[in-house]
């Protein structure tokens, strides 16, 4: 069976039908095209030619520039102004802690892969270019933005490969990665960070500064904070002595959850509230997600809220 017909794990056909009329719009100025909410004003291809890009499997042959092929013996596709209105990146945390799952049916990484897939689908459907950056301590996957549905299949296949690769547990270094992303993305874009924010406490300020760096470079930024709320926000484990192992450092601790639960939940709430407030100061959307809640419900709620602000 060819890769073009192979079912894709992270794109649920039932959910695709629900989001087929949804849009993810940029509320800030992105590359000077539109002030306020982004909505492509163009339909079809009766618009101004912008640039060429290499042909990719899945691109429509009618957009191949055959004159260029005759001169270069290489296939290039004409890219039009409507395809360059907005560029979008999913920046996905794939560190060891993202593979955590206790009570939920999906790990945080699997949940995030579903979310990322839906975002890629939405962006390509509204003819915006979408790309993927995946990281742990460093960037290990970089797929530049493109705007075809064929390319979306490639991105989803990449997400499936990443989420299934558990050979090498890795720590998180989101702050340094986001600083690198800010420098490497030349054109102003919509950047969606999906992470559990399991950074060392001393790195939280550096992470906020990295998000500010992205905003300084003109990017609009959304942060999806993904946790399994039952255990990671509320610390609701059985009240018996348990051994806890840090998935990124291997550090072990034995304790009785009831002795720590109230203080733990209070500390998580305080951290989340502070992080949200600091993001708001920088015009960054901060959205909390619970892996026990269907990702489709959470994403639809957020998109509807965002559209109401239009």
What are the DSSP calls for 140-160, one per residue? EEEEEEE--HHHHHHHHHHHH
Q: Are 209 and 216 in contact (CB under 8 A)?
A: no
Give the burial class of 175: count Cβ atoms within 10 A of its Cβ; 0-12 exposed, 13-18 middle, 19 or more buried. buried
Q: What is the pLDDT of residue 85?
A: 60
Provide the 3-class DSSP secondary structure of residue 244: strand
Q: Are 291 and 227 in contact (CB under 8 A)?
A: yes
Unique residue bearing structure tokens 């897939």: 117
User: What residues of the chain score a pLDDT lower than 70?
Assistant: 1-7, 20-22, 25-53, 57-59, 79-85, 166-169, 200-202, 308-310
CA distance 93 to 197: 9
Q: What is the pLDDT of residue 81?
A: 44
pTM of the model: 0.79
Phi (first) and psi of residue 200, to 5 degrees: -55, 145
Angle at the Cα of 170 (from 165 to 171), degrees rounded to 5? 145
Q: What is the pLDDT of residue 245?
A: 83
Structural tokens at position 88: 């979008």
CA distance 227 to 196: 6
Q: Are 191 and 220 in contact (CB under 8 A)?
A: yes
Other CB atoms closer than 10 Å to residue 249's CB: what's the count?
12
- Least Cα distance to 140 among 113, 161, 117 occurs for 161
Architecture field, domain 85-308: 3-Layer(aba) Sandwich (3.40)
Q: Which sequence spans correspond to the domains of the chain?
A: 45-82, 85-308
């Amino acid at each position: 069976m060819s890769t073009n017909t192979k079912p894709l794990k992270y794109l649920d056909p039932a959910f695709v039908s629900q989001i087929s009329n949804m849009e993810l719009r940029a509320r800030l100025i992105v590359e000077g095209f539109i002030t306020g909410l982004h909505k492509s004003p163009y339909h079809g291809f009766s618009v101004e030619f912008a640039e060429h890009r290499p042909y990719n499997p899945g691109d429509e042959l009618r957009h191949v520039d055959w004159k260029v092929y005759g001169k270069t013996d290489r296939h290039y596709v004409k890219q039009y102004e409507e395809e360059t209105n907005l560029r979008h990146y999913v920046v996905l945390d794939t560190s060891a802690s993202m593979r955590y799952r206790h009570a939920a049916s999906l790990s945080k990484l699997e949940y995030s892969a579903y979310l990322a897939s839906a975002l890629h689908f939405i962006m390509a459907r509204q003819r915006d270019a979408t790309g993927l950056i995946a990281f742990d301590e460093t960037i290990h996957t970089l797929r530049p933005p493109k705007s075809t549905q064929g390319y979306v299949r490639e991105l989803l296949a990449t997400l499936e490969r990443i989420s299934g690769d558990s050979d090498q547990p890795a720590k998180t270094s989101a702050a340094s990665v986001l600083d690198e992303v800010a420098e490497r993305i030349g054109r102003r874009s919509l950047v969606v960070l999906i992470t559990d924010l399991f950074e060392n406490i001393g790195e939280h300020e550096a992470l906020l500064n990295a998000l500010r760096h992205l905003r300084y470079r003109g990017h609009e930024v959304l942060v999806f904070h993904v946790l399994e709320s039952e255990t990671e926000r509320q610390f609701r484990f059985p009240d018996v002595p348990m051994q806890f192992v840090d998935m990124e450092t291997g550090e072990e601790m034995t304790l009785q959850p009831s002795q720590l639960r109230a203080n733990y939940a209070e500390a998580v709430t305080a951290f989340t509230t502070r992080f949200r407030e600091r993001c708001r100061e920088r015009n960054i959307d901060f959205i909390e997600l619970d892996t026990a809640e269907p990702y489709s419900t959470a994403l639809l709620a957020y998109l509807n809220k965002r559209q109401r602000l239009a």
